[in-house]
Each structure stands twice: as structure tokens, then as C-alpha cells.
Amino acid sequence: MSRVYIEQRTRPNTRMNVLAADLVYHFYVRMPEGKLVVIAKEPFLLLRVVRKHWLRLERTVYRERAKTLDSHRIAELSKRLAMMRQFEFTARPPKEAPHGNIFFLEESQIETITTDIATAYVAMPLAEEAFAQLCQKIKQKGLVVTYVD
């Protein structure tokens, strides 16, 4: 397991909105690293909530770009916006949706993950063997973020 970094974060209370907002800001930082996967009990529901927060963040970045006068910052934010708009969210496994960037999956779908995933988020308790299997699927020097109670 030493081939990936593991970060433990405190699970925000029981509201899915708070978890989704935390995920989105983490996605924003990690998106240049590569594809992302989220393991959750209800991946379809979490996908919808995260997508809403993603669009809200996109508008915030757009407004920030419109306010700034620094040409370097404008170029940086423009690049970020272009990346954000190209990101594809899906609740299908990577083999079924190869053009996806952020995958929302259930624990039973861990074996379908391809090895080009840079960051994994675990938003539910996982069995040790499932967690080990997930870590094996992440790129070398990748990151696994677990949300614990």
C-alpha cells in the first residue's frame, strides 16, 4: 500500500450537500492530476449533488476571472475553466465510459476500475480487502481520500 498516499478526512455531518461541497473543492485541486473515482453507497444521488456544486464552482471561477486585471491570473483561470467544462461525470465504470473523468461507483464495482485513476475518494466504510484492491488500482503516487466518522 505504500505506492499511494492515503489521506483521512472527517466526514462532514450526515448531510450529503456538505460532503459534495468538500468533494468538489478537492476535485478542483486534483483535476490536473488525472481521472478521479468516488466510492459511495448511493453513487447516482451523490453524482447529482456533486454536479450541482461543480456548476456553482464553475460560475464562481468565471466571476473571479471577470473581476481580475492580472493577465497571468486571467490565463490561469481560463485554463481551469476550460478543464472544468470538459470534465465528464458518470456513474458508469471506466471501461463502459472511457471518456469520463470523474466516476461514481459502488463498492461492488471496485474491480472495474482501470489503473489510470489518479485519485480515489471513499465516502463510505469499506472492507479491508476492498480498500486494498482499490489502492492497487490507483496510479503510482496517487491519492486515496477516506472520509471517516
Domain map (residue ranges) of the chain: 5-148
Alpha-carbon distance of 38 to 124, in angstroms, equals 10
Query: With the CA atoms of 57, 59, 61 and 67 taken in that order, what torsion angle do they form, in degrees rounded to the nearest 10?
Result: -150
**Helix (H) or strand (E) run with residue 22 in it:** helix 16-30
Looking at the predicted structure, is the pLDDT value of residue 139 above 70? yes
Confidence of residue 1 (pLDDT cuts 50, 70, 90): very low
CA–CA separation, 4 vs 118, rounded Å? 9
Q: Which residues lie across from 147 on neighbouring strands?
A: 9
Find all residues with CB under 8 Å of 77, minimum gap 6, and list them: 61, 64, 65, 68
Residue 121 C-beta-side C-alpha neighbours within 13 Å: 29
- When pLDDT is cut at 50, 70 and 90, the band that residue 15 belongs to is confident
Taking the alpha carbons of 109, 40, 136, 51 in that order, is the dihedral positive or negative? positive
pLDDT at 2 > cutoff 60: no
Per-residue pLDDT tens digits for 60-75: 999 999 999 999 999 9
Angstrom distance (rounded) from CA 133 to CA 137: 7
Average pLDDT over residues 19-34: 90
Report the pLDDT value the prediction gives residue 110, as an integer from 0 to 100.
92
Domain 5-148, CATH class in plain words: alpha beta
Q: What percent of the chain has pLDDT over 70?
A: 97
Q: Give the global pTM.
A: 0.89
